[in-house]
Chains A and B, each alone.
Chain A
Amino acid sequence: MSEPFLIGDNMTGGYGRGPDILHNCTISVNKGEIAVIVGPNGAGKSTAMKATFGMLNVRSGAVRLDGEDITKLSPQERVMKGMGFVPQVRNIFPSMTVEENLEMGAYIRSDDYRETMEQVYDLFPILRDKRFQAAGELSGGQRQQVAVGRALMTKPKVLLLDEPTAGVSPVVMDELFDRIIEVSRTGIPILMVEQNAKQALEIADRAYVLVQGANAHTGTGKDLLADPEVRRSFLGG
Chain B
Amino acid sequence: MSVLTPADFERIQYHQKTQNISRPSLSYWSDAWIRLKGNKRTLFSLYLIVGLLAFTILGPVFWNVDPAFQDLDQVSQAPGTSRLAIIVNDYEAWNGESDISIDALRLVDRATTMAVRLKWDTLPNASGYRVYRNIFPVGPEQAYGIPLVEYFDNTVLFFEDRLDLKPRRYYYSVVPMDDRGNLLDGYQSIAVDPIRVTTLDEARSKGLLTNESTLQAGDSINLSLHPLGTDYLGRDMLARLMEGARVSLFIGIGAPSLFILFGIFYGSVAGFIGGRVDQILMRFADFVVALPFLLFMILFKIAFGIGPGESGIFPMLVALVVLMWPATARLVRGQILQIREHGYIGASQLLGAKTNYLIFRHMLPNTLGVVLVTITFAIPSAIFIEAFLSFVGMGVAPPTPSWGSMSNEGIKNMLTSPHELILPAILISVTVLAFNLLGDGLRDALDARLRNQE
Co-complex (A, B):
no
